[in-house]
Amino acid sequence: MIAIDALWTFSLMVGLLTLTPGLDTALVLRTAALGHRRRAWGVVLGIQSGTLIWGTLTSLGVTALLTASHLAYEILRWAGAAYLVWMGGRMLWATWRRSVDEAPEAPGNGAEVTSPQSGSDSVDSLPGGWRQGLTTNLLNPKMGAFYVAVLPQFLPADASHLAAGVLLTGIHILLAVLWAGVLITLGHILRDRLQQPAARRCLDRLAGTVIAAFGIRLALGE
């Protein structure tokens, strides 16, 4: 069994990681602030599905092969960077297009105020959010590298690594879901203030810049 002090140490570590503003925070908060509550929870579930996969693979020793193989890590790193830059760039491009040819909207008509992005991002869909969150998480090799570096230190030698790893990953997921609930609630509170087209453009430009910057950082990182 895992010692209690090890559980507390791991919980503190992943708790601080969860509270640190990053890509997941930007994606969840932006989706919730646009009024897409179901999609926001789908993003959360997708991200945590990816976390569970990383934790399980690490417990089985599979992700160690990823960090040991320079080619595999580079392929995943560049795929993740391209995906994030594409996602952030699409947000920015859509807001610039809308600022040029935006049609007048009736004030207070929430049904007409949609995300400036066309396509699946404008649909308040739980499965759509899940796919987006899962893809974002699994294409982030730094998530796998974090688990490879941290998780084995907390796996007891006299117990099943898979069971212990899934337990620790579950703690991480629980803390992340609780924090995501706070973010979604905050986004829901701010939703009415973000119904104005100018505010929506500002939000998407900010989120798009943050997401694209994470992609560029991932591409340039070691």
pLDDT tens string 194-210: 667 777 778 778 878 88
Q: How confident is the model at residue 38 (pLDDT cuts 50, 70, 90)?
A: very high
Domain ranges of the chain: 25-98+123-220
Return the higher-pLDDT residue of 115 and 73. Answer: 73
Mean pLDDT, residues 3-15: 88
Please tell me the distance from the alpha carbon of residue 27 to that of residue 49, in angstroms, as a whole number.
Answer: 15
The model carries a pTM of: 0.76
Tell me: pLDDT of 160 over 70. Answer: yes
Q: What is the pLDDT of residues 63-83, one digit of tens each?
A: 777 667 777 778 877 887 888
Tell me: pLDDT of 137 over 60. Answer: yes
What the block records as the tokens of 152 is: 């084995």
Q: How confident is the model at residue 111 (pLDDT cuts 50, 70, 90)?
A: very low
- Residue-averaged pLDDT of the chain: 81
By C-alpha distance, which of 222, 220, 221, 215 is closest to 79? 215
- 81: Cβ–Cβ under 8 A, 6 or more apart, which residues? 215, 216, 218, 219
Tell me, what's the pLDDT at 116? 40
Tell me: pLDDT of 147 over 90. Answer: no
Please tell me the distance from the alpha carbon of residue 123 to that of residue 130, in angstroms, as a whole number.
Answer: 12
The per-residue DSSP string of the chain comes to ---HHHHHHHHHHHHHHHHS--HHHHHHHHHHHTT-HHHHHHHHHHHHHHHHHHHHHHHTT-HHHHHH-HHHHHHHHHHHHHHHHHHHHHHHHHHHHHHHHPPP--TT-TTT---SS-SGGGS--HHHHHHHHHHHHHT-HHHHHHHHHHGGGGS-TTS-HHHHHHHHHHHHHHHHHHHHHHHHHHHHHHTGGG-SHHHHHHHHHHHHHHHHHHHHHHHH--
Return the higher-pLDDT residue of 160 and 67. Answer: 160
Tell me: pLDDT of 113 over 60. Answer: no
Total Cβ atoms within 10 A of residue 139: 20
Q: How confident is the model at residue 214 (pLDDT cuts 50, 70, 90)?
A: confident
By C-alpha distance, which of 71, 73, 25, 69 is closest to 186? 25
Mean pLDDT, residues 79-94: 84
Sign of CA dihedral 198, 199, 203, 206: positive
Tell me, what's the pLDDT at 198? 76
